[in-house]
A and B are shown apart, each in its own frame.
Chain A
Amino acid sequence: MKILLQWLKEYVDSGVAPEKLAADLTLAGMAMEGLSETEAGPLLELEITTNRPDLMSHYGVAREVSALYAKPLKPIEPQPVEVADLAAGAAKVEIEAPDLCHRYAALVLCNLKVQPSPEWLRKRLEACGIASINNIVDVTNYVLLELGHPTHAFDLDTLAEKRIVVRAAKAGEKITTLDGVARTLKPHHLVIADAKRPVALAGILGGAAMEISLRTKNVLLESAWFEPVTTRRAAKDLGLRTEASARFERGLDVEAPVRAARRCAELFLELAGGELLSGVIDVYPRRWDVPEITLRQGEILRTLGEALPAALVERLLAALGFVAARADQDSWRVATPSWRRDVSREIDLIEELARHYGYDKFPARLPPARQPVVLRPHAQAEAALRRALEAQGFDEAVCFTPVHPKDAEKFLAPGEELARLRNPISEETSVLRPSGLLSLVETLAWNVNRGQRHLRLYEIGKAYAVREGRFQERRVLTLALTGLLREKSVHEDEQPADFFALKGAVEAALQPFALPPFGFRPCDLACFQSGERATVEAGSQRLGVLGRLSSTLATDFKLRQAAFLAELDLEGLYAARLLAPEYRPVPRFPGVTRDFSLLLDLPVSFGSVRRTIESLGLPELVAVAAVDRFRGGALPADKYSLLVRVTFQSHERTLTDEEIRSASGRIVRALEKELGAKLRA
């Protein structure tokens, strides 16, 4: 709301400098957005909250100023001179939709002279951002800015039968509004019609055909009250926010129309001559009942934490237009002014008092603690995950979840559909991502294409999909690796990211959780490259997927280097207990290692070697490790060599050579028998 300080001063003199006034109004709920100099003097721009349409005027703000500084507010009592002829004889008003139009008041003025407005009026309107048109339209806008109530002047002679009918629009009915746009109406739109056709969109904008022109002599001045939600819906439908609709949709003062109309008439007679017919045509089918609210000192104290002196309560309420009468020692019966439809409850009054007493005057006290703090149920699990991943050099990413459907489809699991948005901002953000993998692939590409080629990223977020008509939102942890894990330096050789680096990160992420033994199994997920993709499973539970990004997707996302990604299901992980450390006695006797150089058929995995050794149940067996792996050279094409290191250790004694020899022999025989392994020299 633009407020001219000189104009404001006509109703109240704050007695303070503009900067101080702006700061005080800000504290009282009218936030200063700007203070500037205009041709009509200093202009204060205030942000008015949606509950306070009464502040969308100079007089409304003046009332607040008067209450803030305890300064008198000058009343506005328009006294236009009337001629003997009755307005009721010159025009008729009917309201067919009283629920949507609670009141319609009209004045009739004759023999006006339409002409440019005087300079003082033009300057004020223009400073407030409203273009000057002619003296009649300008006066209605002036009164809008002064009192906050919209009025509308019709050229009376253009109204068929000089009749106003307030009614719902008929489906398909058309009107060309003042802005020259032809609009088709719907039955939930409220119109002002004459005997034949709509002449205005109620509370929004007038029709072009009834516009005040230089030929206009006689005017019907409308000052009405339209229902907020109807006005708001119509304005939204028609994409037409006006000064009038912005006020009606917030709930205006139903007692204001006559005063606003008379104020207009006063200015019409002054600036356009003519005569005002006597009487107001005032159709008022839905009267406003003045709400009476009980205000208790006890409730003020209970809400605000401080008791306010009774005299102060009474002064502030009176200054704001409330009528408070003592009910007893500690309470009042308060009648609400008609312009404060936002105030209907005791708490509303308490807010008024707090606002004008000053929020800054209340002391600050810490709330007492009442119960132990509970972190999120999975807070510890998440912290353990983050520690594990950050220790491995993974940087955290936070990614947008609305994504492009064409990308999202590539990561959609079988049996799932994308969750689509009805009103997306753009096609690129029109579905919710079905997987965190998509987001990290995009993030890798963003970085690699900006020269950041060695990346380790993790993200904790959600994935969304529809399965059999059911919407699912699940927490996921996504990992991504690309480029070098380690760049070459004087100390170390470079180490490229590969599948096993990813597998190690997945294992590290799972390590804090008490899960059944988990394993990695081949899978056929299309987003990963065949031969380097797996699911990770614990018993029958699938914990996640991992693999090398397929070359097709890498090309699609313009990622020109190998990338390794995993997605783990956090709902599953968070359901598991966190492992607590467990004490075991530290071995007192030395361990012994034996290396076995094996020649194996290609399909035989290290895992089966280890299982075969472990299934022997050797009590002293401590570890089985793969130390070296070799293919090609002199070896047959379907074979490879594997160097396996086995560690033996006893808690009771030092193992003898004989015991180690015997155990080694059993291992070799089992590997030969079960897996067809050959011991190499």
Chain B
Amino acid sequence: MTDILQKLPFKITQLGIQSPEEVENIFAELRAAFDRELGEKHDIEGLEGIRIRWRGRKGLDRLLRDNWLKPESKFKPAVGKAYNDFKDYVESSLALRLQHLRAQEESREMAAEGVDLTLPGLAARRGARHLVTQTLEEICDIFARIGFSVVEGPEVETDYYNFEALNIPQHHPARDTMDTLYLDLPARALPEEIRGPRSDPNQFLLLRTHTSPVQIRTMEKQKPPVRVVVPGKVYRRDNPDATHSFMFHQVEGLAVDRDLTFCEFKGAMEYFLREFFGPETKTRFAASYFPFTEPSADLAATCGVCQGSGCSVCKHTGWIELFGAGMVDPAVYGFVDYEPGELSGFAFGMGVERFAMIKYGVDDLQLFFQNDVRFLQQFRR
């Protein structure tokens, strides 16, 4: 086979073409010649040389156009089409090869560095703090910023601290809302310093239904001003489901002083909810009743899902009910030998899991206590 390239200096009419098929044949030979050259090993520079030779202004293309494309002949249309196809083929082949060479070059650079950058890094795995602890700490931290100290107390309590000193005597209807788990032990089983002089030693011990007993214990030990929050576990005789648990966590708080009014109460609560849920949060104070506060309020915040316009999460009210609070009922001061006429204060109590559920959209309370690591590790920080 003669080298097709040697035919290029001749006019197409000189090549003795007899049919359109022969036109296609010579172009096929031309394409084969180009393929052979491209098939040799090249770097990007070498590829540029091929481009100039085949497509450059003074290269083979010029011969092609001058000698084969331009002369008039009865095969001119066939030549025109074949030329265009060939030109497209050359251009796209060069572009493809260039792309390929560039990619090769990049991976060569990478290989030169010695590591596969796509492999994962090597790091020690940090543990995740439980969402309950995180939320409880966040609540306490916010109150610490406005002057509240943190105190704790026992989970097993006497009837006196859990109910009586909070103005909830025996047979008070409010006891119904806090079904209580009792221990099979009389109060005298508690060390005296915890039992206190006012607890009946023969009454059964109980698992505290709220952390409020610690507020009483604090007031017994400390004269006003008092500003405390009390985090901890509390227990109710509730059957477990997606929103109930016989054990959960609360943060309750208490402020007693000479100058605290309903306005300071509102200020502290609004500050807390804005810090916890975000600066746009609005707070609703609805009148309510608790034996140890008066006036009492149920607090709600604007629904974070619909921003208050109403959705299924907030039952179309625009509000998410959060917790109970109010001004300390003066009757409570009598139990801790405070002077009611001179003092005032406010108290509040919130469920930690409920706050976490609202903030993170967790839909089942039981998840908090199953401790499935696939749940726990979602809250790693």
Contact = CB atoms under 8 A, between A and B. Distances in A.
B152 to A, nearest CB: 6
Contact of A367 (B152, B181, B264, B330): B264
A458 B126 CA distance: 13
A218 B247 CA distance: 55
B374 interface: yes
B135 to A, nearest CB: 11
A242 interface: no
Given A359-B285, A370-B227, A399-B369, A392 B127 contact: yes
A451 to B, nearest CB: 9
Given A306-B263, A452-B374, A229 B183 contact: no
Contacts of B373: 395, 447, 452, 455, 457
A351 to B, nearest CB: 4
Contacts of B122: 489, 491-492
A450 B191 CA distance: 43
B330 A347 contact: yes
Interface stretch (B43-51, B86-94, B266-274): B266-274
Given A50-B289, A367-B255, A399-B371, A351 B294 contact: yes
A174 interface: no
A348 B294 CA distance: 7
A400 B132 CA distance: 13
B126 to A, nearest CB: 6
Of listed A351, A369, A424, residue having the most chain B CB within 10 A: A351
Contacts of A249: 173
Given A367-B146, A395-B377, A492-B122, A354 B262 contact: yes
Interface stretch (A145-153, A165-173, A465-473, A540-548): A465-473
B287 interface: yes
A494 B204 CA distance: 53
A304 B262 contact: yes
Contacts of A473: 154-156
Contacts of B262: 303-306, 354, 359, 362
Given A26-B286, A364-B267, A367-B267, 9 more contacts: A303-B262, A359-B285, A360-B284, A370-B257, A390-B126, A394-B127, A419-B184, A457-B373, A462-B155
Interface in B178-209: 181-185, 189-191, 204-205, 207
Interface residues of B, number: 89
B260 A429 contact: no
Contacts of A366: 146, 264, 267-268, 271
Contacts of B204: 422
Contact of A396 (B154, B255, B376): B376
Among A364, A389, A423, A458, residue most surrounded by chain B Cβ atoms (within 10 Å): A364
Interface stretch (A121-129, A373-381, A529-537, A588-596): A373-381
A369 B317 CA distance: 35
B184 A51 contact: no
B227 A393 contact: no
Interface in B135-166: 144, 146-152, 154-156
B329 interface: yes
B13 interface: no
B270 A379 contact: no
B127 A375 contact: no
A397 B289 contact: no
A425 interface: yes
Contacts of A250: 173
B33 interface: no
B133 interface: yes
A401 B181 CA distance: 13
A229 B173 CA distance: 9
Contact of A345 (B155, B263, B330): B330
Contact of A393 (B124, B133, B148, B289): B124
Contacts of A131: none
B61 interface: no
A392 B308 CA distance: 43
In the complex, the 9 A-B pairs of residues with the closest C-beta atoms, listed nearest first: A305-B261, A29-B287, A305-B263, A49-B289, A50-B173, A369-B147, A390-B127, A359-B285, A397-B371
B127 A370 contact: no
A315 interface: no
Interface size range of chain A in the complex: 35 or more
B62 interface: no
A371 interface: yes
B295 to A, nearest CB: 4
Contacts of B225: 370-371
Contacts of B288: 29, 31, 49
Interface in A428-442: 429, 432
A136 B175 CA distance: 36
Contacts of B146: 366-367, 369
Interface in B239-283: 239, 246-247, 249, 255, 257, 259-264, 266-271
Contacts of A50: 173-174, 176-177, 289
B370 interface: yes
B371 A350 contact: no
Contacts of B264: 305, 365-367
Contacts of A392: 124, 127
B119 interface: yes
A31 B298 contact: yes
Contact of A470 (B119, B182, B189, B377): B189
A402 B79 CA distance: 93
B315 to A, nearest CB: 9
A447 B286 CA distance: 43
B128 interface: yes
B57 interface: no
B183 A419 contact: yes
B371 A421 contact: no
B327 interface: yes
Nearest to B290: A49
Contacts of B327: 303
9 contacts: A233-B171, A366-B268, A367-B267, A391-B126, A401-B155, A402-B235, A424-B181, A425-B239, A470-B190
Contacts of A394: 127
A420 interface: yes
B372 interface: yes
B255 to A, nearest CB: 6
Contacts of B119: 490-491
Contact of A27 (B125, B207, B284): B284
B217 interface: no
A402 B183 CA distance: 11
A302 B261 contact: yes
A470 B155 contact: no
A389 B344 CA distance: 43
Given A302-B344, A366-B267, A447-B372, A29 B289 contact: yes
A401 B232 CA distance: 13
Contacts of A369: 146-147
A480 to B, nearest CB: 11
A450 B372 contact: yes
A666 interface: no
Interface centre among A373, A429, A490 (most CB of B within 10 A): A373
Contacts of A32: 317
B252 to A, nearest CB: 15
Contacts of B171: 229, 232-233
B323 interface: no
B128 A396 contact: yes
A491 B123 CA distance: 11
A446 interface: yes
Contacts of B330: 345, 347
B185 A419 contact: yes
Nearest to A28: B287
Contacts of B374: 452
Contacts of A447: 371-373
A398 B231 CA distance: 14
Interface string B68-81: 00000000000000
A376 B267 CA distance: 25
A195 to B, nearest CB: 32
